[in-house]
Amino acid sequence: MTPPKIAFIGAGSVVFTQGLLADLFAFTELKDAHIALHDIDPERLSTAQAAARHIAGELGASARITAHADRRESLVDADFVINIVQVGMGEATRTDFDVPARYGLRQTIGDTLGIGGVFRALRTFPHLRALGADIAELCPDAWLLNYTNPMAMNVQYLAEATGLSRVVGLCHSVYWTVRDLSDLLGVPYQEVTYRAAGVNHQAWLLELRHGGADLYPRLDAAVAGDEQLRRRVRVDMYRRLGYYPTETSEHSSEYVPWYLHHDSEIERLRLPVGAYLGIVEENVAAYERTRASLAAGEPLPVEGTMEYAPQIIHSIVTGVPRTVYGNVPNHGLIDNLPRAGVVEVPCLVDASGVQPTRIGSLPPQLAALNRTYLSMNDLVVRAAVEDEPRHIRHAAMTDPATAAALPVERIWQLCDDMVRAHADRLQPSLRATLGS
């Protein structure tokens, strides 16, 4: 068996790259893989390469590890491409928070919906178009495994703008939700069976069982007996909608109109406005610690992360079947969601690739929220695909949290300010300011 070539695009996200490599090298069949690292930042690329060699050594892997400033060079004959690029890094993220905050618009994470999600997508799309063209030319049979947010917008754009079909978006939210609920309910995760579906960061646990018994009544009892649990957005949503959401309260609060606009709800549900800026700072600090440890010859922690990409690669390479959760174009997987929208569903993975599972229809109250989410996504993708800057404003008008907080004139003014702030990262056709 020829060792697979795995290209990491955006490998300078060193801490995340480390976790993925630890997962990959834990598999005997992947210890001799070719790991091709690419980043546009020479220092981060060098750090990623040093970290990769350290992890390979610690785990007894004989991997071939190469570093490439040229993305195309890293992609030649790749079997798998892992995209973890964050365009604009911390500077652009701070803009995503600071400019809307001047309008009184609150965000917690800002990477999926909302103004932050819109502009994170728009500055990522040019990268995705170029990456898609390179994959089509240099490794057309490769699987593109995308971790870059906003997940659903990015995967929809890849499907519509690049024509690539071997694309799946990956997120750990379903896995960690079930792990956390297993701990809360005192049952071993390995014995829990579950089924989830919806959209990324707003999927729903449709079934949660242990030994064949429904765990939802047990969760109801836990919630009823713990006031602090009831002071969480996702628990509040569960109590009202009947199904537990698969993303944190910080994330979940941004995708609906009910919470962030109200001071009383922010206090009741302990919402950390601007939380992602702290995460950005911690990511930078973690990178600096890694770089310093490598320079000093000190040991690095080598810890697996249970991410899906290494599991997918192992299953395709070896044929070992697994079920993971993936983000893919709907195409009839969920009957009451838009066909072109990207949905998160269970996927079987084996030697033939990633095969999504058909779900049928979601409960109507869940589908209603997901449809709004996907409508907003579609307008952002339409803006880029059709070179139509008005659709940026239409997307912001459709976004639940933005529409709850601002009148339409202010939404258009905010979009103009964001276009000005990010102009050099947007495709030229979307750099127009339109006034209110």
> Cα(302)–Cα(20) distance, rounded to whole angstroms?
10
pLDDT for res 280: 83
Q: How confident is the model at residue 185 (pLDDT cuts 50, 70, 90)?
A: very high
Burial (CB count within 10 angstroms: exposed 0-12, middle 13-18, buried 19+), residue 208? buried
Could you report the per-residue pLDDT of 192-203, keeping only the tens digit for each?
999 999 999 999
Reply yes or no: is the peptide bond before residue 4 cis, omega within 30 of 0: no
> Cα(141)–Cα(430) distance, rounded to whole angstroms?
32
User: What is the pLDDT averaged over residues 51-76?
Assistant: 94
> Would you say how long the chain is, in residues?
436
Domains of the chain (ranges; CATH) run: 5-169 (3.40.50.720)
> Cα(185)–Cα(20) distance, rounded to whole angstroms?
29
Rg (CA), the chain: 21
Burial (CB count within 10 angstroms: exposed 0-12, middle 13-18, buried 19+), residue 231? middle
Q: How confident is the model at residue 286 (pLDDT cuts 50, 70, 90)?
A: confident
pLDDT for res 77: 96
Q: If DSSP codes are grouped into helix, strand and coil, which group holds residue 65?
A: strand
> Cα(167)–Cα(80) distance, rounded to whole angstroms?
10
Lowest model confidence (mean pLDDT) among 5-9, 277-281, 370-374 = 277-281
How many CA atoms, within 13 angstroms, populate the side-chain half-sphere of residue 45? Answer: 20
Could you report the per-residue pLDDT of 227-282, keeping only the tens digit for each?
999 999 999 999 999 999 999 999 999 999 999 999 999 999 999 888 888 888 88
User: What is the pLDDT averaged over residues 398-405?
Assistant: 96
> Cα(110)–Cα(333) distance, rounded to whole angstroms?
28
For residues 306 and 314, the answer to whether their CB atoms sit within 8 Å is no
Give the CA distances from residue 402 to residues 202, 211, 257, 258, 261, in Å, rounded to whole numbers and listed in that order: 17, 43, 8, 11, 9
Handedness of CA 244, 250, 256, 257 (dihedral sign): positive
Give the CA distances from residue 137 to residues 15, 78, 85, 124, in Å, rounded to whole numbers and listed in that order: 30, 11, 20, 20
Mean pLDDT rounded to a whole number for the chain: 94
Q: Is the pLDDT of residue 300 over 80?
A: no
Share of the chain above pLDDT 90, in %: 85
pLDDT for res 49: 93
Report the Cα–Cα distance between both ends of the chain, in Å, rounded.
Answer: 60
Could you report the per-residue pLDDT of 117-146, keeping only the tens digit for each?
999 999 999 999 999 999 999 999 999 999
Among 111, 105, 108, CA closest to 92: 111
> Cα(308)–Cα(173) distance, rounded to whole angstroms?
11
Q: If DSSP codes are grouped into helix, strand and coil, which group holds residue 373?
A: helix
pLDDT for res 278: 84
Kind plus residue range of the DSSP H or E element containing 133: helix 114-138
Could you report the per-residue pLDDT of 302-333, keeping only the tens digit for each?
777 889 999 999 999 999 999 999 999 999 99
Residues annotated catalytic, as ranges: 172
pLDDT for res 287: 80
pLDDT for res 379: 98
User: What is the pLDDT averaged over residues 364-379?
Assistant: 98
pTM for the predicted model, two decimal places: 0.95
Q: How confident is the model at residue 15 (pLDDT cuts 50, 70, 90)?
A: confident
Q: Is the pLDDT of residue 69 over 70?
A: yes
The CA-based angle 52-166-198, given to 5 degrees, is 95
162 DSSP 8-state letter = I
pLDDT for res 436: 66
Q: Is the pLDDT of residue 408 over 80?
A: yes
